[in-house]
Every structure is written in C-alpha cells, then in structure tokens.
Structure 1
C-alpha cells in the first residue's frame, strides 16, 4: 500500500495550484487530496466541477530523468482505468488521458510542469475521479460516477487503489516511457480502426486511428497519409 506523504484538505482552490505554489517545500511523491475544490481545472483551461463525493488529488513528482514526462500522465490514466475495472466498472481509455465508462467521463487528468530559474523542477499530475456523486447533470459534459454504475467505493478507497497501482509501475515509466505500458494501454483503448477527429490548438485532423506509437503519440491515417499527433482532443 502507498505509504508516502498524503496531505488532506477539506477545501482548496485546486490541488494542482497548491502543489505548484508549494513545490519547493514539498517532497517528491507527495499527494495532496481535497474533498472539494473551488477552482478545479481540466485540460484546455476547462472548469472541473468538484462536487462532494468525488476524488480530487494531485501527485507532485520530481523524477530522476525527464525524458518521458508525458507518458507519466498516460500511466496515471491507465492506473485509474485499471483500478476502476478492478472495482467492477467497464472503464476504457480515450487518448491521451481520459477515462470513460459507458461512453461518459469517469476521470480527467491535468498534468502541469513546474519550472524555475534552473529549468524543470517538478511534474504535477492532477486527477479528478467521479466516485460517489449521485448526480452529475451539472458537469457540463456526459459524465458518470462509480456510484451511478452501482459500485460502492469511498473516495479514500479509490485513492489507495490508484496510488498503489501508479507507484508500482512509476519507476518503469520514468526509465522506459510509454513502451513499458503500451501493450496494457492499447488493451484499454477501443479506438483502433475507428474514425475520429483530433483538435489541437486551432487545427483539426480527421482520419482513422491506426495505432499508438512507442512514444504514446497517436498515429492517424488521413487522406494525406499517416499523421503523428502528440497532444489534442479526440472527438469520436
């Protein structure tokens, strides 16, 4: 079981924001958990509604090497996905780091780098998992909780499952990147051969998902050929 430092708060603006503000004071692999957030955020500056009953936490990481930082986000998504499946949810991954169940969002992850005058200082992985909420109609997108799927777990129980799984494979991903989890990720990624649209910045690319590269990038078959995409929103 994960036994490193866990800091718990009744309320924060954002666990990611707190971790970034206090990066120099916090040790490597510190976990920050809040029962609610007043300014939770998702990717692309989206608001993340942090209702009571959800699991909201951030992990502050100061890895020995930084070559595979984006893959740590994908590893966290896979750790959440496998933890949800272990609890009985038919969870799957939507590239790059969303976890869905029944086509609805179960978990979102926001990764942010902390930099200082000497460059990279830490990576903060912010995770929001819908665990015990009974109603997510205000979420702004189709969302589902474990409770709505008939699974009775507390946020604390889900946290420990995720942390145990994440840190079990953490060093492997730090040292080898996506290659070390590619097979397991692809097993939970049901979009191979499916038509999708990827939005990245002001651009858009439509095509058929070919596979994920050993680096964790998406290979999209388009009329112009195979396009490699490193980040974006996948619309299905």
Structure 2
C-alpha cells in the first residue's frame, strides 16, 4: 500500500472488479482508492463488460462525503481526467454525456458511480474510472482507442495516477456552477444530433445544454426534453 496525492492506494495484480473490492473495503470502514493491473470482470454502466487487460488504468476511489449535487460527481471526474491528460500529454480529449472520454469520437475511457445509502444519506460513494493506456485496443473494439495508439509510446501509469488523483480531489472542491461550466467547455455532445436510449424509450434531438442536475437538455420535434440518464449516441458532427 502506498500514498499518491494524499490518497492511500490499495494495489492488486488482478481482481474481479475494482468496484467490488472497493465496496468491500468501504463496508469495513476503509478509505482511499483501489487500483488493479487486470480486471477479470470489469464493468461499465448498466453492468456492461469493460475490457480490462494488463496495461490499462483501473481505479475506484472511495469517498465518504457527498458533494452538494451527487449527480454532478461523474461530470466533475470527467473534467479532472481531461485536465490530467492535457497536462501530461497535451492531447485533446472531450467528454461525451454522461460518462465517456473521447479522442476523435473514439472511446478512451469511462466513469462509473455507485453509492450506498442509509436512510437517504450516503454511507460511501464509489467513483470508478477505466482508461486504456498501454495496450492496443482498436483491434478488439474499433470504436475504442488507447494512449499508446494516440501518442505512439507507453505512458507511466504511476505518474498519471498521481496527477489524476490530484485533479479529481481538486474537482471535488468546485461549485456546481463551476462543474457545469467546465464540463460544457469540454463537451463533445453539446451541439450534436443525438439518440438517447432511456428506461422509458428512445429520444432523438439536438443536445442543447446541461440541466442544473447534470441531465441533458434536448431540442426535439415535440419541444424541449430533459433526460436525466441514458445511453447517448452521437448521430453526426456539427
């Protein structure tokens, strides 16, 4: 166990999922972050499989206190990741609503949020992050990309982890207004024609803005629609 950016890191060579390990640690009162070299059953939103071979960054941060608007936490984390990648490598990464990191419309990583509540009060929050670092992934998934494929060389995971954690901790101190403003300035989604799959059906329209809770405001033929959660597909660039 070591400390990076003031955060205690629990390192594992291989786990089923860093979210699962972090959940068990959180239930025992632990704090810090879980990092693994390999996830056998890494997952994204809605339980989807996240390809997690050796050479990626698989991280779950255990938080004990909730920000003023918990729904903005994935957006704040996305801003932090983009800032860390720009700071270290100078690359233009954008944010796709609600939780993807894109490089030229190809997925570089994703963010996952889970929370445990007791009487409507969060006991702990798990902020998960998966980033494709030093392994070619486009052969397995043409819509994905890794830092190795972008930069043409391997990156130092430990250096990235240190900078990334510092940026995430900084983002947790931002006001809701600053989180929304920062996310919108880095968005790949706003201005796009999109299709959003929601629990209540599919909605098509142009992504206009974020709502105060971090939802997506769409302009549709039927008028303005607010979408709080769902899978967003970009239909064309503007």
**TM-score, length of structure 1 as denominator length:** 0.90
User: Contact 1:89/1:146 (CA < 8 Å) preserved in 2?
Assistant: no
User: Contact 1:31/1:58 (CA < 8 Å) preserved in 2?
Assistant: yes
CA gap of 1:123–1:191, structure 2 versus 1, over 3 A, is same
Alpha-carbon offset, residue 214 of structure 1: 2.8
Q: CA–CA distance in 2 between the matches of 1:199 and 1:142?
A: 19
Please provide the CA RMSD for this pair. Answer: 1.9
- Correspondence for 2:23: 20
- SS of aligned partner of 1:22: helix
Q: CA–CA distance in 1 between the matches of 2:38 and 2:212?
A: 37
Q: CA–CA distance in 2 between the matches of 1:60 and 1:192?
A: 30
Which of 190, 193, 196 matches 1:192? 190
- SS of aligned partner of 1:131: coil
Q: CA–CA distance in 2 between the matches of 1:4 and 1:166?
A: 11
Alpha-carbon offset, residue 199 of structure 1: 0.8
**TM-score, length of structure 2 as denominator length:** 0.89
User: Contact 1:11/1:36 (CA < 8 Å) preserved in 2?
Assistant: yes
1:12-34 Cα distance to aligned partner (Å, 9 max, x none): 11110111122132434x11100
- SS of aligned partner of 1:210: strand
Q: CA–CA distance in 1 between the matches of 2:59 and 2:231?
A: 22
> Is 1:72 aligned to 2:73, yes or no?
yes
> Is 1:97 aligned to 2:87, yes or no?
no
- Correspondence for 1:132: 134
CA gap of 1:229–1:53, structure 2 versus 1, over 3 A, is same
- Correspondence for 1:5: 8
Q: CA–CA distance in 2 between the matches of 1:55 and 1:190?
A: 23
Q: CA–CA distance in 1 between the matches of 2:80 and 2:171?
A: 9
1:149-182 Cα distance to aligned partner (Å, 9 max, x none): 015422222211211111012133xxx43x2212
- SS of aligned partner of 2:206: strand
- Correspondence for 1:234: 232
> Is 1:51 aligned to 2:53, yes or no?
yes
Alpha-carbon offset, residue 66 of structure 1: 5.6
1:76-95 Cα distance to aligned partner (Å, 9 max, x none): 11111222222122210001
- Correspondence for 2:214: 216
User: Contact 2:84/2:160 (CA < 8 Å) preserved in 1?
Assistant: yes
The unaligned stretches of length 5 or more in structure 2 are: none
- Correspondence for 1:147: 148
Alpha-carbon offset, residue 191 of structure 1: 3.0
Q: CA–CA distance in 2 between the matches of 1:80 and 1:124?
A: 16
Alpha-carbon offset, residue 194 of structure 1: 2.0
